[in-house]
Amino acid sequence: GAVVSQHPSWVICKSGTSVKIECRSLDFQATTMFWYRQFPKQSLMLMATSNEGSKATYEQGVEKDKFLINHASLTLSTLTVTSAHPEDSSFYICSARDRAAGGSIRTGELFFGEGSRLTVL
């Protein structure tokens, strides 16, 4: 099946620094990727929809200046947490749909990355 890879798997940073997380679709092209945030033993909260070649669409309540998303190619989206604070510590997960394999955009399977654990000290 299609593979989505995230890097780094975990990162620890100091408060006030910025951290970039990469999400790659390894064997398919993804015009759209999604970024989620997951707190321990809780649900995945959709943060934003990353659109290749255009601006990301953010969910209500998500600060676009805080969480910068760039989708520069059909296989790569990046999430940058700017001026990170301890409350930004979380598990960040990306996902992508292989439209070519999965049928319509509404029914094609979403493939998930392994997640990136961010700890801000």
SS3 100: helix
Backbone φ, ψ for residue 30 (5° rounding): -130, 110
Cα 102 to Cα 95: distance, rounded to the nearest angstrom:
14
Q: Which of 8, 18, 101, 109 binds other proteins (CB under 8 A)?
A: 109
Cα 120 to Cα 111: distance, rounded to the nearest angstrom:
27
| Residue 37 amino acid letter | R
Residue span binding other proteins (CB under 8 A) among the ranges 10-18, 29-37, 63-71, 76-84 = 29-37
Q: How far is the CB of 5 from other proteins (least distance, A)?
A: 10
Q: Which of 25, 90, 95, 116 binds other proteins (CB under 8 A)?
A: 95
Q: Pattern of binders to other proteins over 38-57, x per CB under 8 A?
A: ---xxxxxx--x-x-----x
For residue 85, with 0-12 CB atoms within 10 Å meaning exposed, 13-18 middle and 19 or more buried, which class applies?
A: exposed
| Residues lying near other proteins in the complex (CB under 8 A) | 32, 34, 36, 41-46, 49, 51, 57, 93, 95, 97, 105-110, 112-115
